[in-house]
Amino acid sequence: MGNEKLYKIGELAKLADVSPRTIDYYTKLSLIEPEKRSDTNYRLYSGETLHRLKRIESMKNEKYTLEEIKAQLQQWSKVTSDDTVTDKLTSLQLHLEQLMKEAKELSPLVQQLKPKQLKKLYHILTQPTAACIEALIVLLGKNPFS
């Protein structure tokens, strides 16, 4: 840990743009944990906690329940303890879910396409999709080529 800046609840709340009560609640739910306690028994939170709070708030904005968020965070922490990677994976997951919603909305339009148009759409989407899947596989350490 070293000289990493630690934050009291009020400081953390201000930086994360949430209330101190929210931080207390998230701590009770084990969504976040204090890094340690001060000599005067204040809970002190790390910069990683700040990132985690922002991730939680982002997922809440995407209409996830706190139970779903907790499950996702636990799942990502099983994949890696690196907070940056976990952040990216969460961001990718939110983005993929948004894309799935949009794809569902486009489904009626896609069904109206002619076979030639469908073939062109397939070719446009296949290569980037495959590249994303390969990147995720490598990122998660499941490289089939090694």
Question: pLDDT tens digit string along 77-113?
Answer: 766 666 666 667 777 777 777 777 888 888 888 888 8
Percent above pLDDT 90 for the chain: 27
Instruction: For residues 58-80, give the mean pLDDT.
Output: 82
- The pLDDT, as a whole number, for residue 142 is 63
Q: By the 8 A CB rule, do 46 and 4 touch? A: yes
Give the largest Cα separation in the chain, rounded: 71
Instruction: For residues 9-33, give the mean pLDDT.
Output: 94
CB contact burial 91-123 (16+ within 10 A = b; e otherwise): eeebeeeeeeeeeeeeeeeeeeeeeeeeeeeee
CA 100 to the chain's CA centroid = 16
Instruction: For residues 36-63, give the mean pLDDT.
Output: 89
Q: Is the pLDDT of residue 132 over 90?
A: no
Instruction: Please tell me the pTM assigned to this model.
Output: 0.59
